[in-house]
Amino acid sequence: MRTAQKNSSLRRKLALIIGNENYSALHNRLNHSINNARDLNELLKKIDFDVTMYIDADSNMMLKIQRFSKRISNGDLVLFYFSGHGYEVSGKNYLIPVDDTKIKTDIDVEDIGINLQSVLERLIERNSSYVTILILDCCSLYWLKPPTTSNSIVHDKGLSKIQPPSGTFIQFACAANQTIDDSGEKQRNSLFSKHLIRNIARKNINVTDVFRDIAKNVYLESNSVQKPLSMNGLDQHDGVFLNAVSSIIPNIPYDTVWKSKAKTIAGIRGPGPALTALHFPKGIFVNKKQTVFIADSSNNRIMKYNRGVIAGKIVAGKNISGYGSDRMWEPSNVIYDEQSKSYIICDYQNRRVLRWASRSSTFTEELITNKECFGLAMDDEGFLYVSDTELHEVRRYRTGERYGTVVAGGNGQGSRLKQLNHPTYIFVGPDQVVYVSDTWNNRVVKWEQGAKEGIIVAGGHHKGKDETQLFHPAGLIVDRLSTIYVADYYNHRVMRWYKDASHGHIIAGNRYLPGNNANKLNGPEGLAFDQHGNLYVADSNNHRVQRFSIRNI
């Protein structure tokens, strides 16, 4: 299992952007601030930030900041960006509003300017458990009096370094006590904000690495004149990502429609032990190359099917059941861990979870033993989740753990919200939310992190075949819109339930009738999406895996 990291893309992301350019004092007007703000605004929206932007904020700027801060909830990722003039007085930093004609002395700055420490306190007071990022492009010279007068005063020290609170990352466009004259610069953006916009949306890059690269690029392009300053209050072990793209949670558009007829991509001659056959396939896993890994249950093996190839390859186990180092007994689920290049397998009847290295003829490690495991899931932080059909619970296992932590169920067999009844397939969503196919309760239940009981999100109206019901739910996927996709085993269909919907609708299979035609299913089990949104179904009683392509492809 991988080292844990904070997956910021799965949290709510809020940004406040202020671009101050048209200062009342004509000699302090800027060239880039509005473009800086607008361009960053558009970019952050593309990576799922909820952005509030103000252009040319006046002395009411602190009220705007306070209004924004009231929207912050604990656990949000908060970003504050200011492009405009900054000024330091007696070690305190101030952001200058555009109505600055009354500023003639340091005392005026203290009266009219916005104290940066007060801004920071506002942003973090409601967000103690996650990350706040401040970005200040305040390098330009600020004149207290017009530069044409004999007693002109310019503040040439820049902003002073501050101690970042825990959970806060701060970057200034210039080093402490430094300013630059960019009045002759004719580019659309200031040098710092140009590199900020180029780098800030990079996928799956730790925020500290992003801002390190920004600082490096600014320093090089300015011929060592401008050196941005970073102040890091993040724990050195934290991984914080502004644009983390989940490898687990699929991105399926809301109105996606799949073709009614599927293509058989594995098991064209089942049931049987041949490489072109399957025998009651259960859990499936699809990687970025559209390679399909299958828990070929009654053949006691894990199969790998490359795209477009009708004969699979045995990658773990044999066609004989057993407890040996090279055998399994009715494996129910498989995950391929790209980082470790190994398979994680639920060896169901042998009551264990195995790690099986790629290209190995025997398993590498028994991760968990003496568990009637059925479902497997791994979150973006690398933690493993296992459903137990004997103890009616789901446990999360951190690296090296043998016993894990109960995250769903664990209160005996039953139908109360704090209980599960034969949990099978599982899926882990944002913030380690666990979704469970509570099979014998004919429902899908969602368990928030730390919850004492679950929430029914699909089914739950006894077994049945109408659109409010499920009949032994099996394979389970939840996309980024919290839409639920579930294999409805005894209804021989795959259902889609939109978030908070009272009922689902069929997206694969033909009503509730079994069959072996291209538009029918018979006992669907495992589900998977590829990166294009095509739907894969382990059509278990037909001993095949079907791919339902998106209709417009």
Q: Distance between CA atoms of 487 and 529, rounded to whole angstroms?
A: 13
pLDDT in tens, 267-280: 998 799 999 999 99
**What whole-number distance in Å separates Cα of residue 360 and Cα of residue 126?**
51
**Interacting residues of 308 by C-beta distance below 8 A, sequence separation 6+:** none
Checking if the pLDDT of 5 tops 70, the result is no
Same CATH fold assignment for domains 13-233 and 263-548:
no
| Residue 73 pLDDT | 87
pLDDT for the residue 393? 98
Summarised one tens digit per residue, pLDDT across range 132-154 is: 999 999 988 898 888 776 665 55
Give the angle subtended at the CA of 354 by the CAs of 535 and 449, to the nearest 5°. 65
Q: Is pLDDT above 50 for 294?
A: yes
Position 91 pLDDT exceeds 70: yes
Summary mean pLDDT of the chain: 91
Whether the full predicted model's pTM is greater than 0.75, yes or no, is no
Return the amino acid letter for 347: D
pLDDT for the residue 2: 39
What is the arithmetic mean of pLDDT over 367-390?
94
Assess whether pLDDT exceeds 80 at residue 252. Answer: yes
Q: What percent of the chain has pLDDT over 90?
A: 76
Please calculate the CA angle 218-223-225 and round it to the nearest 5 degrees: 75
User: Quick one: pLDDT at residue 392?
Assistant: 98
pLDDT digit string, tens, across residues 406-433: 999 999 999 999 999 999 999 998 778 9
Adjacent-strand bridge partners of 15: 51, 79
- Of the two residues 115 and 154, the one the predictor is more confident about is 115
Determine the pLDDT at residue 154.
Answer: 55
**pLDDT class for 75, splitting at 50, 70, 90?**
confident
Beta strand pairing status for 473-478 and 229-232? unpaired
pLDDT at 127 over 80: no
Over residues 319-339, the pLDDT tens digits come to 999 998 999 999 999 999 988
Query: Structural domain boundaries of the chain?
Result: 13-233, 263-548
pLDDT of residue 239: 67
Alpha carbon 219 to its chain's center: 32
The pLDDT tens digits of the residues spanning 151-195 come to 655 555 689 999 999 999 999 999 988 888 765 567 889 999 999
Domain boundaries 13-233, CATH class: alpha beta
Q: Where are the beta strands (DSSP E) in 278-420?
A: 281-286, 292-296, 301-305, 313-317, 333-337, 342-347, 352-357, 365-369, 373-378, 384-388, 393-397, 405-409
Buried b (16+ CB within 10 A) or exposed e, 160-173: bbbebeebbbbbbb
Higher pLDDT, 488 or 181: 488
Fold of 263-548: Neuraminidase (2.120.10)
Q: Write down the pLDDT at residue 237.
A: 46
Q: Calculate mean pLDDT across residues 397-406.
A: 89
Residue 1: predicted pLDDT: 42
Q: Is residue 102 pLDDT above 80, yes or no?
A: yes
Sign of dihedral through CA atoms 151, 153, 156, 161?
A: positive
